[in-house]
């Protein structure tokens, strides 16, 4: 994350937009500085697309006599381009004719033309098209492919302000990752709306939240915005509750003394004090429940949850062979292309389909909670509360309501009929049942499909609080990052294990692709971290070399790297504490003080230093004899 300069490029000051007589944006302030990458977030229907259309010039501000600001202001003439979900152009023309025809320089031998064509090639292949596709007519492409071509054309135009509405729709994970890298290098301003939280995390350095028709600016990426938002809600809730207590106390004094002649003036002064008090508004709750304490399984189960040897997976043919040991408490995300064997592996571990050959054994006292998309195909005319209570009859009605509320089935939601729930709501209900039953081994296949952000973040919190073992598949990269502590990568007929989590794996893979030698992605185990888990790619590669004696030199290097990492971490922790203290003081200021951005930049720099030291430590650790090398 890098805040991009301070020069104001575009600004909306005290602007209001109404559509069809309904106010969508109310007295908003919004600005784009330099080449900032800005994410606009908010619930569906909050007005995010309306804001993009306003910036694009497709909508105008209301004529508002109460406006105090200047409306819309640009520092200079700017070009603005917005991604259209429909392909503009002649459907009978080829992609080549359409995109090269849009080149501003028609001189075939000009340097500008050369640069344009080179970027066109880079974008076209980056979005997953083959060179032969350039000769296809636009009408031959699907709607999703036409949207990708529209985005390519927009990127080739290089507007000063690029507006993107759901840019990762129709993109697979590999293409989304490619677009993330491209956005990081893009030297123009970008304003984007997306439900892909991981994409926003990797590209945005500023987040605007749209809520109740108003905007609030947060420096940093999506995760930082969520942390700050929840912190502000807690602070404002406490301030609101304190003020309500004080108002109740003062009102009690007024009522007690207003009819007593000797105390009437005292009562009047207290009443005036109440009237002069600037009211703190009750905060709008976020709609996400965060699970604070640990969620323990009913029984812990054995140390080794699942062990396999020469286990061959597949249906009518072998997909892959794997030897693996999963230890109690591990949370492992499965990555890989469709058809690579991820779901087959989950079903084999769960005992739903037999292995083709080999050995796979669950540990003693292992209780499984299994979820896939078929799990949510429940039909019942009972209410959510009745359905849940029937499954857990020992719970009181109050406990049922409290538990359901934690999974966002509060109040009226608990009174809905199960048959009236959406697919995402039914999935959430089934997952609430699984977690309430407290198995010690959760096996989950796409648990958050069709869920809104609030539901996803609630379940992410629940799975983080859960202390049992989780093995899961998800296409939601943010969910993988939040829940998985390690990942198994299914590639062809091989399986790679990576013990440091999803985002760390991506960083190291990018460094590998850049030509750096990375040892941490291994086809075996790190004995110290995973204590015996084994993931082996092919037949006859099921045994690991013995770990040799650790050399003093590598031990010395590791100690030095650890000391640097701890020192950088201490500096970051001090600045983080300073930031949290200052944010409490700045929380309710009407304007953002200049020191806030300065302190944020210091905090960000300290984080980058600490993160770099962590990566250095991981590289040294990868050289260590404790790290088993590929056989």
Question: What integer pLDDT is reported at residue 554 of this predicted model?
Answer: 64
pLDDT of residue 459: 96
Q: In terms of domains, do 456 and 430 share one? A: no
Same domain, yes or no, for 185 and 203? yes
Q: Does residue 471 form part of some domain?
A: yes
- Predicted local confidence at residue 605, as pLDDT: 83
pLDDT (0 to 100) of residue 521? 42
**Residue 350 and residue 307 share a domain:** yes
The verdict on residue 496 lying in a domain is yes
Q: Report the number of distinct structural domains present in the chain.
A: 5
pLDDT of 51: 94
Given 544, 579, 594, the domain boundary residue is: 544
Q: What are the structure tokens assigned to 89, written together?
A: 């152009």
Instruction: Please tell me whether residues 450 and 430 are part of one structural domain.
Output: no
Order of strands across the sheet that contains 214-219: 80-82, 161-165, 189-193, 37-41, 206-211, 214-219
Residue 397 sits in which domain range? Answer: 373-438
pLDDT on residue 538: 34
- Residue 72 in tokens: 């819309």
Strands of the sheet containing 318-327, edge to edge, are 318-327, 304-314, 357-362
| Residue 586 included in any domain | yes
Report yes or no on 629 lying in a domain: no
Spatial distance between the Cα atoms of 387 and 119, rounded to a whole number of angstroms: 57
pLDDT for the residue 532: 36
For position 529, what pLDDT does the model report?
33
Do 71 and 214 lie in one domain? The reply is yes
119 plus 60 within the same structural domain:
yes
pLDDT for 208 equals 96
Q: What's the pLDDT at 624?
A: 60
Q: How far apart are CA 307 and CA 323, in angstroms?
A: 8
618 & 539 share domain? no
- pLDDT computed for residue 592 by the predictor: 65
Q: What is the CATH number of the domain that holds 467?
A: 3.40.50.300
What is the pLDDT, as a whole number, of residue 298? 94
Within a domain: 616 = yes
- Start-to-end CA distance of the chain, whole Å, equals 38
- The verdict on residue 3 lying in a domain is no
Measured CA to CA in angstroms, residue 597 lies from 188, 218, 569, 572, 601 at distances of: 21, 10, 21, 16, 6
> Which of 484, 513, 544 finishes a domain?
544
Q: Are 593 and 586 in contact (CB under 8 A)?
A: yes
CA 226 from chain centre, in angstroms, equals 10
Which CA distances in Å does 158 have to 79, 200, 600? 9, 20, 29
On whether residue 80 sits in a domain, the answer given is yes
Residue 443 and residue 328 in contact, taking contact as beta carbons nearer than 8 Å: no
Q: Please tell me whether residues 392 and 422 are part of one structural domain.
A: yes
Residues in the chain with pLDDT < 50? Answer: 1-4, 518-551, 626-631
- DSSP code, position 132: G
Tens of pLDDT, residue by residue over 85-105, are 555 567 888 988 888 888 888
Cβ within 8 Å of residue 542, ≥6 positions away: 309, 310, 323, 534, 536
Q: Give a yes or no: residue 606 inside a domain.
A: yes
Is 13 in the same domain as 108?
yes
Same domain, 109 and 153: yes
Are residues 194 and 142 part of one domain? yes
Q: Which of 544, 570, 597 is the last residue of a domain?
A: 544
Q: Which of 253, 279, 277, 275 is nearest to 265 (CA)?
A: 253
76 and 122 both lie in a single domain? yes
What is the Cα–Cα distance from 163 to 31, expressed in whole angstroms?
Answer: 14
């Amino acid at each position: 994350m890098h805040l991009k300069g301070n020069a104001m490029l575009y600004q909306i000051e005290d602007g209001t937009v109404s559509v069809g007589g309904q106010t969508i944006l109310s007295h908003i302030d919004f600005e784009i500085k330099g080449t900032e990458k800005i994410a606009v977030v908010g619930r569906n229907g909050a007005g995010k697309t309306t804001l993009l259309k306003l910036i694009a010039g497709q909508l105008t501000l209301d004529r508002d006599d109460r406006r105090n600001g200047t409306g819309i202001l640009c520092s200079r003439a700017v070009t603005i381009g917005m991604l259209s979900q429909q392909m503009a152009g002649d459907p009978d023309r080829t992609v080549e004719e359409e995109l090269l025809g849009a080149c501003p320089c028609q001189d075939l031998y000009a340097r500008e033309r050369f640069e344009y064509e080179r970027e066109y090639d880079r974008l076209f292949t980056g979005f997953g098209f083959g060179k032969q596709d350039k000769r296809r007519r636009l009408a031959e492409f699907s709607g999703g492919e036409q949207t990708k071509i529209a985005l390519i054309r927009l990127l080739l135009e290089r507007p000063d302000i690029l507006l993107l509405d759901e840019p990762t729709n129709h993109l697979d994970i590999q293409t989304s990752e490619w677009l993330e890298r491209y956005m990081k290098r893009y030297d123009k301003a970008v304003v984007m709306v997306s439900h892909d939280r991981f994409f926003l995390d990797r590209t945005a350095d500023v987040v605007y939240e749209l809520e109740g028709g108003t905007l609030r600016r947060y420096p940093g990426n999506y995760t930082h915005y969520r942390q700050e938002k929840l912190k502000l809600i807690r602070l404002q809730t406490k301030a609101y509750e304190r003020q309500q207590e004080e108002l109740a106390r003062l009102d009690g004094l007024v009522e007690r003394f207003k009819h007593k002649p000797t105390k009437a003036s005292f009562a009047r002064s207290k009443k005036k004090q109440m009237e002069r008090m600037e009211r703190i508004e009750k905060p709008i709750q976020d709609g996400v429940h965060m699970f604070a304490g640990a969620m323990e399984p009913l029984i812990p189960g054995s140390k080794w949850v699942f062990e396999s040897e020469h286990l061959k997976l597949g249906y009518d043919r072998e997909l892959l062979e794997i030897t693996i040991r999963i230890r109690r408490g591990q949370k492992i995300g499965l990555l890989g292309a469709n058809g690579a064997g991820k779901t087959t592996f989950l079903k084999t571990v769960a005992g739903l389909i037999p292995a083709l050959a080999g050995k796979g054994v669950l540990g003693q006292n292992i209780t499984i909670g299994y979820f896939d998309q078929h799990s949510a195909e429940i039909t019942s005319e009972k209410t959510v509360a009745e359905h849940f209570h029937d499954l857990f009859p020992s719970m009181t009605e109050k406990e049922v309501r409290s538990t359901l509320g934690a999974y966002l089935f509060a109040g009226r939601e608990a009174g809905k009929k199960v048959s009236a729930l959406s697919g995402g709501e039914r999935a959430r209900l089934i997952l609430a049942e699984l977690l309430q039953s407290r198995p010690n081994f959760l096996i989950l296949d796409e648990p958050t499909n069709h869920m809104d952000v609030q539901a996803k973040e609630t379940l992410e919190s629940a799975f983080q609080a859960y202390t049992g073992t989780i093995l899961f598949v998800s296409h939601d990269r943010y969910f993988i990052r939040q829940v998985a502590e390690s990942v198994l990568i299914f590639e062809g007929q091989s399986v790679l294990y990576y013990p440091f989590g999803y985002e760390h794996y991506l960083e190291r893979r990018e460094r590998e692709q850049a030509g750096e030698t990375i040892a941490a992605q291994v086809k075996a185990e790190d004995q110290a971290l995973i204590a015996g888990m084994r993931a082996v790619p092919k037949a006859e590669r099921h045994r690991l070399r013995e770990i040799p004696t650790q050399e003093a030199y590598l031990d010395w290097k590791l100690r030095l790297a650890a000391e640097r990492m701890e020192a950088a971490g201490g500096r970051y922790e001090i600045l983080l504490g300073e930031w949290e203290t200052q944010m409490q003081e700045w929380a309710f200021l009407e304007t953002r003080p200049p020191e806030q951005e300065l302190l944020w930049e210091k905090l960000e720099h300290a984080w980058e230093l600490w993160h770099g030291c962590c990566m250095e430590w991981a590289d040294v650790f990868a050289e260590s004899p404790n790290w088993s090398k590929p056989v």
